[in-house]
Amino acid sequence: MSAAVRGGSGRQTAAAWILTLPFVVLFLAFTAGPVLGSLGMSFTDLRQRDLRTPFAVNGVGLDNYLKALSDETFRKAALNTAYFVLVGVPLTLGLALAAALLLDRGVKRFQSLFKVGYYLPVITSIVAIAVIWRFVLSPDAGLLNTVLSWIGVDGPNWLASETWAMPSLIMMAVWRNFGSAMIIFLAGLQGIPQTVEEAGQLDGAGSWQRFRYLILPLLRPTVLFTSVTTGIGYLQFFEEPFVMTQGGPLNSTISVSMYTYQQFGFGNYGLATSMSYLLFVVIAVVTFVQFRLLREK
């Protein structure tokens, strides 16, 4: 604050206006505006044919929300999304933490090679990954079932099976995303002073005890952060079913985002925005709950 206050604030205000104006204009038009517009639209019967006259539509109150909540496919989509998040997030974070510990405590040479390698899928287009994984998961000529056949397991027809389609997409998501949380865990682990562990060692704590009672509590802020960001990402589950299954078979992989997109495609703009707002509310609530749970222990 010091320099800012001393520097004569009239000139600073003028400079601040010039520096923030382009951002504020773009932000209002393309982020803040649409967020509010979406809320407004969700209470109307806006359809594709009204595209040119978005302000001349009828308010329908909570109809869209009630329609979404009583729609069986929407419920199925919500359940699938919950399934994806509840199984996918712990698996992703567990694998990320294991990889971070492996690299931070075990691997002394070639550490950055492994770090970069594990991170590669994160920066790869999800569409390309989905294309690759359709071959990995293909029933006969696929990589996964070929590997499974070496150990005598007869793999299922992953994406065409109602039971196995979701696990397939979760497997792919975990494979793709754990590197992102791993990097954050690595930064967190490097922030823990060596002396903490040395003290534990002197007190006779084994490696599991040192992890459980010394490292994990100190990592709490990092765990909070990764679980929130991973959770937000997984709640928006869209590209995987879009490219891999189109929500099938028999809606077994349809997600809230995917169904929202389908309703948009059918021209039901009011309904689609109400669904996306329901998703947003869930994201906000889940984030809030995660903060409370991990803060208070």
Nearest to other proteins of 69, 114 (CB atom): 114
Tell me the C-alpha distance between 127 and 240, whole Å.
Answer: 8
Task: Find out whether 279 and 76 touch, Cβ atoms under 8 Å.
Answer: no
What are the tokens at 134? 């359709």
By the 10 Å C-beta count (0-12 exposed, 13-18 middle, 19+ buried), 14 is classed as: exposed
String of contacts with other proteins for each residue 145-184, x by CB under 8 A: -x--x-------------------------x---xx--xx
Among positions 155, 197, 229, 249, the unique one binding other proteins when judged by CB under 8 A: 229
Nearest to other proteins of 29, 216 (CB atom): 29
Interface stretch with other proteins, choices 5-13, 59-67, 79-87, 212-220 (CB under 8 A): 5-13
Indicate whether 218 belongs to the interface with other proteins (CB under 8 A). no
Closest to 118 in 3D by CA, of 173, 177, 190, 184: 177
- Binding residues for other proteins, how many (CB under 8 A)? 106
Tell me the C-alpha distance between 89 and 171, whole Å.
Answer: 11
Residue 156: CB minimum distance to other proteins, A: 16
String of contacts with other proteins for each residue 47-76, x by CB under 8 A: ----xx-x----------------------
Q: What is the CA radius of gyration of the chain?
A: 24
Nearest to other proteins of 144, 215 (CB atom): 144
Residue 203: CB minimum distance to other proteins, A: 21
Residue 236: CB minimum distance to other proteins, A: 5
Residue 91: CB minimum distance to other proteins, A: 14
Among positions 68, 78, 100, 103, the unique one binding other proteins when judged by CB under 8 A: 103
Which 112-141 residues touch other proteins, going by CB under 8 A?
Answer: 112-136, 140-141
Among positions 49, 108, 292, 297, the unique one binding other proteins when judged by CB under 8 A: 108
Task: Find out whether 227 and 185 touch, Cβ atoms under 8 Å.
Answer: no
Give φ, ψ of 44 to 5 degrees: -125, 170
| Angle, CA 125 vertex, CA 120 and CA 131 arms, to 5° | 105
Nearest to other proteins of 88, 179 (CB atom): 179
Residue 9: CB minimum distance to other proteins, A: 5
Indicate whether 32 belongs to the interface with other proteins (CB under 8 A). yes
DSSP collapsed to 3 states, 62-122: CHHHHHHHHCHHHHHHHHHHHHHHHHHHHHHHHHHHHHHHHHHHHCCCCHHHHHHHHHHHH
Residue 167: CB minimum distance to other proteins, A: 17
Interface stretch with other proteins, choices 62-70, 155-163, 209-217, 274-282 (CB under 8 A): 274-282
* Cα Dmax for the chain: 77
DSSP 44: B
Indicate whether 86 belongs to the interface with other proteins (CB under 8 A). no
Among positions 64, 80, 81, 260, the unique one binding other proteins when judged by CB under 8 A: 260
40: left (phi over 0), alpha (psi -120 to 50) or beta: alpha
